Structure 1
Amino acid sequence: MRFPNKLFLVLFWTCFAMFGQNKQVLYDFVEIPQSAMINPGVDTDFQWYAGVPLLSGISLQAGSSGLSVNDIFADDGRRINDKIRERAIFGMNARDELSGTFQIELLNFGFRGKNPDNFYTAGMYIEGDAIGYWFQDYAILAFEGNADRLNQPFDLSHLKTRGEMMNVFHIGLNKKVDNQLTIGVRGKLYSSIFDFNSTKNKGTFITKEGVNNIYSSTIEADMQLRTSGLNGLKDAIDDGTVGSTITKRAFFGGNLGVGVDLGFTYQLNDQTVLTGSLLDLGFIYHSKDIKNYTLNGKATIEGIEIILPDAAADPNADFWQDLVDDVEGFVPFEENADSYIAFRPTKLYGSLRYNFGEHVDNRANCACGVNASSNRARAKYVNSVGGQLYVINRPRGPQMALTGFYQRRFGNFMSIKTTYTIDKFSYSNVGLGLSLQAGPVNIYAMADNLLSYGNLADSNYASFQLGLNIISWGKK
């Protein structure tokens, strides 16, 4: 049995087009309001801020842990089929990942309450997240077939993927408990646009020498693909109503869910700060526009059996269809519209930061008057150095990244943060973030894996973030 190479290439590049999602440069970058989106307990000194709609937060990350575009398409004089075989088919394994996210803020603002220790945030953003693991045994079967691989079981659990797109509404509270501790909580309402997941597949496919035919093939499968919203989007494409369909679902017309973000900042001493956050602890209940597919059962087939001369007596017999019917009878492929719950990919951040050098004046109002708090944001230092931890829950277990960083402040008008990150995508990921403050206008931009920008096609990871905000410290 041999699958067409074109079919394999479609499957390969469909998975390769997925995207990865650590915002290590933005995390604890307190000069930027969006840092509160990945730690609701950030220690902030703003009186209020407002993001410019659609421009306040744009981020995109894309990564592959096992292969780059250049590995396949480099002009090195080698045949592309040979490179696919060596670098993809047998060069990657089932734990190699193609994953990522994008996010666009539609609205984001925050303000300090009558009690200056309380800071409130709210807004909404569009987010898409997807991950696909390399389907190693499927790729071998599709590219080489099974004729030369007798008695080798192909593992059906190698198919593991999930993805989603949604609009997220959020409202949060950041509270300065005392001069050492700031805590934060954010509630979220998810309005799903579409979802798909196939993460709990089991089974094998194996070919052996047959008894009644040359070969016998046995499949034992327990597989499921769950989808929500995709069928309706397909109809919308045919009808030319994609925009209105997405808008309706983004504003409570689709499947809904809830979640929460938690975070804190703790001042161990005047110069040492510990932070942490837990994001997207939540789920979406999918009950509308559901279409699920299952393959469950076991069968052994020895191919088409033709008995002569009896077969010649019925010239209209469709022996291939009889074989297909037999396979479907033993291993039924079924569809259903059962509701399901999809949990969000929960993320954990943590950091330890040491501040040193000269002080940078705090831009917030002084803590004066009878009702003023003595627990406002501390003065910043010119330099900060430290380490960060990032963990995200993924279908094959937690995925982790470690980051070291250095931040330099130039008065109150500019701050630069550099990072060095080690994760499964790269051991040499150097990132850079810049925040500029021109009066009330805040502009920020950041990018990862800068050493690869000379040849992006040879990179396993790339990301960028940028935004525009209006900030007030309430000074008169």
Structure 2
Amino acid sequence: MQKAVKYLLIGFFAFCVCHTKAQQNLTLFLMHDVPQANYVNPAVSYECNWIVGLPGLSSVHANYNNSAFSISEGLRYDSSVDSSYFNFDNVIDNMNNTEILHSSVYYTPVYVGFRLKENWITFSITEKVTTFNTMPKEAAELLWYGNTPFIGREAAINGTRANGLHFREYALGIARDVSERLSLGVHAKLLFGKGTVYTPKSEGGLTTNANNFGLLVDLDTKIHTSFPIDVELDDEGYVRNVELRDDIDWSEYMMNKRNLGVGFDFGFIYQYDEKTTFSGSLLNLGFIAWGTELNTFVSDGVFEFTGTDSSTDFNSGDYTEEINDSLRHQFLPVPDEGGFTTRLTPELYLGATRTLTNHLNAGAVFYSRIQRNKIMPAFTLSANTYDYRRLNASVSYTAINGDYFNIGAGLGIKMGVFHLHAAADNVLGFLKLENQRNLNLRFGLSIVPRCSEPREKKQRSNKGISAMPCYHSPYKGEKRIKR
């Protein structure tokens, strides 16, 4: 049994770490001269009349967070056999009560921004895949060590969840100055869900009787899916096997428009005084209602397995088969004609900058992702350039997930009609991936059809970052430059 559950635990971590490639954009947030900062603050606009994302390469964003461990923390070398192995004992010893593994991939093939009178209008289409998984320490111990450490007591698995989500987002945004000091922005988003696995809650545990080694499993959980799968049942109606459908029409899957959702982003930029600027945004307020390819599996309460004694070989195939047969009777497929709803993961950014020179400011950003009533904060310090024609840059330091050494960098480069952007919160991490708990990267290429210089030379600002440098600054005393 212990061998089987060890493989299950390895599979869980391997899925979270390897199959979901590296959402926060902490370095990018204060780079207001880079138009793609509008992704994380809808109040940011651009200096030019038009910007069009290069088809197929407008923006790619990948993010990976693991609060439990880095690969190097578990990887060990055995000189006696000249090979490496993964030491889950060390990983579990260093786990907190509940660990989080989160990853996202965002691909934006279509992005357009243009000025309409006093407004900066944006439109984008983004394909989003994200996972969020939680693992309590006792659940990890149970999977890795088996039930031996829990004889006479319960191994709680409250909060164990594995969730995945794939959806397409159509976003329409508007940014506008509402006063000389204040700019506001909003994105309204139409969402189409493609596939999901969603666990609303998980409570219960496994108790091992100290006298007869009987097992009492009390499990209260539900798993929703919206995906083209086949569910095989045994003669008693319990789940025997779940697998992908053989004849999936992937074009129909990608164009499915029946799982409808909505979302909103809000942002602001406020000039407090001549040198100090505050900005912030609240992203991903919304939900998706799922109604196609539905399957729901519900645990069936309590079962007791008493066919063992002190001489039982817990690792034998017969024992494992008996346990598996019993566990299968915990889950029954149930009708889900009404569908279910998943919420987006809200994100909060709060930033401030202080002018240092005519082209440089210092900034700080507080960030938090709010997932399942859990707040996952991060903090960033940065130095940012502004008001340069061809190049804007940023260097940053970030603390996140118990990792206090993340050095980031960002670039916005104008090359004729092309505009390149790239930003990462942990640049050095890409040199040694096995040491990292947090990685993210955003990059893309845009075309600027028209962006001629103003007829009269623009007055350089010494008041901080400029969200819309060619046309106007939201800061007091600078007026819009007509073109």
Common fold: TM-score over 0.5: yes
2:73 maps to amino acid = D
Asked if residue 120 in structure 1 is aligned to residue 121 in structure 2, the reply is yes
Question: Could you tell me how far apart the structure 2 residues matched to 1:276 and 1:288 are?
Answer: 37
Q: 1:445 to 1:411 in 2, by over 3 A?
A: same
Asked if residue 248 in structure 1 is aligned to residue 255 in structure 2, the reply is yes
Preserved CA contact (<8 Å) 2:99 2:136: no
Question: Could you tell me how far apart the structure 1 residues matched to 2:94 and 2:143 are?
Answer: 16
Q: Deviations over 1:365-397 (max 9, x none)?
A: xxxxxxxxxxxxxxxxx0111111111111350
Aligned to 1:450: 427
SS in structure 2 at match of 1:151: coil
1:444 maps to amino acid = H
Preserved CA contact (<8 Å) 1:59 1:463: yes
Aligned to 1:274: 278
Aligned to 1:91: 94
Preserved CA contact (<8 Å) 2:27 2:380: no
Preserved CA contact (<8 Å) 2:78 2:85: no
Asked if residue 27 in structure 1 is aligned to residue 32 in structure 2, the reply is no
SS in structure 1 at match of 2:214: strand
SS in structure 2 at match of 1:96: strand
Aligned to 1:65: 67
Q: Deviations over 1:185-242 (max 9, x none)?
A: 11101111111122411112101134xxx22221212111111125289987623633
Please, which of 296, 300, 313 is the counterpart of residue 296 of structure 1?
Answer: 300
**Most deviating of 430-439 and 332-341:** 332-341
Residue identity over aligned pairs, in percent, reads: 22
Aligned to 1:371: none
Aligned to 2:383: 406
Preserved CA contact (<8 Å) 1:25 1:432: yes
Q: 1:65 to 1:320 in 2, by over 3 A?
A: closer
**1:463 CA drift (Å):** 1.9
**1:341 CA drift (Å):** 0.8
2:249 maps to amino acid = T
* Matching of residues 274-353 of structure 1 within 5 Å: 274-303=278-307, 331=330, 333-338=332-337, 339-353=339-353
Preserved CA contact (<8 Å) 2:74 2:88: no
**Most deviating of 72-81 and 404-413:** 72-81
Preserved CA contact (<8 Å) 1:258 1:284: yes
**1:322 CA drift (Å):** 9.7
Question: Could you tell me how far apart the structure 2 residues matched to 1:28 and 1:141 are?
Answer: 44
Question: Could you tell me how far apart the structure 1 residues matched to 2:222 and 2:205 are?
Answer: 14
**1:143 CA drift (Å):** 2.4
Q: 1:141 to 1:320 in 2, by over 3 A?
A: closer
Asked if residue 103 in structure 1 is aligned to residue 106 in structure 2, the reply is yes
Please, which of 415, 421, 430 is the counterpart of residue 392 of structure 2?
Answer: 415
1:400 maps to amino acid = P
Question: Could you tell me how far apart the structure 1 residues matched to 2:104 and 2:162 are?
Answer: 14
SS in structure 2 at match of 1:427: strand
Q: Deviations over 1:296-332 (max 9, x none)?
A: 3123332279xxxxxxxxxxxx999999888777x56
Runs (5+) with no aligned partner, structure 1: 306-317, 359-381
Question: Could you tell me how far apart the structure 2 residues matched to 1:222 and 1:464 are?
Answer: 38
SS in structure 2 at match of 1:452: helix
Q: 1:320 to 1:450 in 2, by over 3 A?
A: closer
Runs (5+) with no aligned partner, structure 2: 232-241, 310-317, 454-482
Aligned to 2:415: 438
Asked if residue 215 in structure 1 is aligned to residue 213 in structure 2, the reply is yes
1:98 maps to amino acid = L
Q: 1:137 to 1:108 in 2, by over 3 A?
A: same
1:296 maps to amino acid = D
Aligned to 1:150: 151
Preserved CA contact (<8 Å) 2:379 2:399: yes
TM-score norm. by structure 2 comes to: 0.81
**1:436 CA drift (Å):** 0.8
**1:125 CA drift (Å):** 0.7
**1:93 CA drift (Å):** 3.3
Asked if residue 195 in structure 1 is aligned to residue 202 in structure 2, the reply is no
Question: Could you tell me how far apart the structure 1 residues matched to 2:301 and 2:255 are?
Answer: 39
Q: 1:320 to 1:152 in 2, by over 3 A?
A: closer
Please, which of 245, 262, 265 is the counterpart of residue 266 of structure 2?
Answer: 262
Aligned length: 431
**1:404 CA drift (Å):** 0.6
SS in structure 1 at match of 2:403: coil
Q: 1:160 to 1:30 in 2, by over 3 A?
A: same
**1:174 CA drift (Å):** 0.9
Q: 1:355 to 1:145 in 2, by over 3 A?
A: same
Q: 1:201 to 1:81 in 2, by over 3 A?
A: farther
Question: Could you tell me how far apart the structure 2 residues matched to 1:50 and 1:323 are?
Answer: 58
Preserved CA contact (<8 Å) 2:228 2:248: no
**1:409 CA drift (Å):** 4.3
Preserved CA contact (<8 Å) 2:219 2:299: yes
SS in structure 1 at match of 2:206: strand
Q: 1:240 to 1:230 in 2, by over 3 A?
A: closer
2:14 maps to amino acid = W
Preserved CA contact (<8 Å) 1:28 1:39: no
2:307 maps to amino acid = G
Question: Could you tell me how far apart the structure 1 residues matched to 2:266 and 2:133 are?
Answer: 28
Aligned to 1:39: 41
Preserved CA contact (<8 Å) 2:369 2:376: yes
Question: Could you tell me how far apart the structure 1 residues matched to 2:99 and 2:394 are?
Answer: 30
Larger Rg: 1
Q: Deviations over 1:120-169 (max 9, x none)?
A: 11121111111212353333223222245311311121412322111100
Question: Could you tell me how far apart the structure 2 residues matched to 1:321 and 1:235 are?
Answer: 20
**Most deviating of 155-164 and 287-296:** 155-164
Q: Deviations over 1:237-257 (max 9, x none)?
A: 623633x134312xx2x4110
Aligned to 2:477: none
Q: Deviations over 1:64-95 (max 9, x none)?
A: 22212223345463898985232223332342
Question: Could you tell me how far apart the structure 2 residues matched to 1:342 and 1:247 are?
Answer: 19
Preserved CA contact (<8 Å) 1:301 1:327: no
Preserved CA contact (<8 Å) 2:350 2:365: yes
Asked if residue 466 in structure 1 is aligned to residue 443 in structure 2, the reply is yes
Question: Could you tell me how far apart the structure 1 residues matched to 2:84 and 2:208 are?
Answer: 25
Question: Could you tell me how far apart the structure 1 residues matched to 2:400 and 2:130 are?
Answer: 18
Preserved CA contact (<8 Å) 1:63 1:425: no
SS in structure 2 at match of 1:418: strand
